[in-house]
Amino acid sequence: MKFPLLTSLLRQLGRFLQHNEKLLLAILAMVIAVSGSLWYRQYFNLDNNGPVAGGTYVDGVVGTADELDAIAAKLTKSGLFKVDREGKIVNQLIDNWQVNADNTKYTFDLKKNISSQEIADQLNQNIELLGPAIVNDEGDGVITVALNAPNPNLPLLLTQPLFDFGAYKLSKLSDTTAIFTRSTREYALTPYINKIVVHLFPDEALLIDALNKKKIDGARLEGDHVPDGYKQFSYSTPNYFAVIINVNRSPFRDTLFRQKVVQGKTVARAQVTLTVSDEDQAKSYAPTVKKQWEKQGLVVTIQTKSADDIANNIGPTRDFEALLTGISYGPELDPYYLWHSSQIRPPGNNLSGIKNDAADKLIDQIESEYLIPERNKKILLLHQQLASLGVLQIIGQVTRNIIVDNNVVPAAPYIPLSVRDRWQAIDQWYLK
């Protein structure tokens, strides 16, 4: 049986291929090149363990059901701003914002479809975070915050998880387990990991047993135990332990004397009382400071006081010669109140009583710095300046450690004051 139409089509195709051979070969080469490029990029990304979406992360914590509630707040909420991988404060729920010349009134233009009433209500419910302030819903997606005192630090405060636009939503909760899945809400943080599961353990021994049996992917542990198949991830906090010198009490009224003490140099014999906070870590540093100072020529008496007594009585009245305590540079606890010259008189909290224009200038720069790594650098410069004035001796910086599976790639939290703050950057974690 013959098929004249098919035969004719095949002949035409043959002539087309013969006449256009070079063109077809060029097209084929382009297809191979594009396909190879796509394959190479895919292989390259996998080979270099770049961020990929998907998977489940299972964490273990020691605590009560209250701990799950605290973790839920970190995972399900976001701020008006967020901190990106480079440590820069960027818009999250707003398109833009403005502040007046004296940093007392902020205006925030919310993203489309975000309820200004919802945002205003949440801000008013957390008004203690802002300090004395009036929050107004101006309508048309505009919120204003009027402050009683200037505060260029407000955008940093508003990175805190206050609004229901976090990376995850709570899908299931029991007395011992919380399961979080990706939030589908518009403008919510976009995580890499699909699901977060958090298990509660009554004690650390059971938590370590779960790690050893590979039942969980990560945990916060005391000590340096790292089970097989896991790694330790460490990050620094803006919490320090330091000795603060009172410039209004003998023998530290003498500038050269206190500078030599802070610099580790020999000084004339003098009696000094070192007041120490009853925090365990502060007390652990006290013998080291006493030993060092006595090598320099001081006679040191240690007196231990409660952290509350220091905060409410000893600090505000400067009833100390030298004070070994913790200091913190978090979003709320910035260096302004601790070191700025304007805070020398009550109700300020300039503990040392130092007045220095260079230190004040650095503090102003820190408050207006919206890139976290640069903020941290400026804090170190402030410490150096204060040490040169003989009013500050940094004893140690607090670091935190967590344990994660080798296939987990965590991200450092931006200003982690507490252990719970390790969840700050959970949207940037991913699995290999």
3-state secondary structure of 44: helix
pLDDT tens for each residue of 202-236: 999 999 999 999 999 999 987 778 999 999 999 99
394: phi then psi, degrees, rounded to nearest 5: -75, 125
In angstroms, the CA 321 to CA 335 distance is 21
pLDDT higher than 70, residue 39: no
Tell me, yes or no, if the pTM score tops 0.85. no
Nearest to 429 by CA among 192, 260, 113: 192
pLDDT digits (tens, 9 = 90+) for 327-354: 999 887 678 888 999 999 877 789 999 9
Using alpha carbons, select from 284, 268, 265 the residue that is nearest to residue 276: 284
pLDDT at residue number 44: 39
Amino acid at position 242, single letter: A
**Is 369 a residue whose pLDDT tops 60?**
yes
Backbone angles phi, psi at 33, to 5 degrees: -65, -45
pLDDT at residue 332 in the model: 73
Nearest to 419 by CA among 167, 150, 67: 67
- The predicted model gives 80-90 an average pLDDT of 94
Q: Cα separation of 286 and 263, whole Å?
A: 17
- Give the bridge partners for 200, in sequence order: 61
Residue 368 has pLDDT above 60, yes or no: yes
Q: What is the pLDDT of residues 140-192, one digit of tens each?
A: 999 999 999 899 999 999 999 999 999 999 999 999 999 999 999 999 999 99
Strand-strand pairing, 218-219 and 81-83: unpaired
The four Cα atoms 241, 149, 74, 221 give a dihedral, to 10 degrees, of 0
Q: Measuring CA to CA, which residue among 275, 387, 395, 386 is closest to residue 341? A: 386
Q: What is residue 373's three-state secondary structure?
A: helix
pLDDT over threshold 60, residue 46: no
Q: Which residue type sits at 128? A: E
- pLDDT at position 304 is 97
Output the six-digit token pair for 422: 């390790």
**Average pLDDT for 27-52:** 49
The reported pLDDT for the residue numbered 23 is 56
| Residue 62 DSSP symbol | E
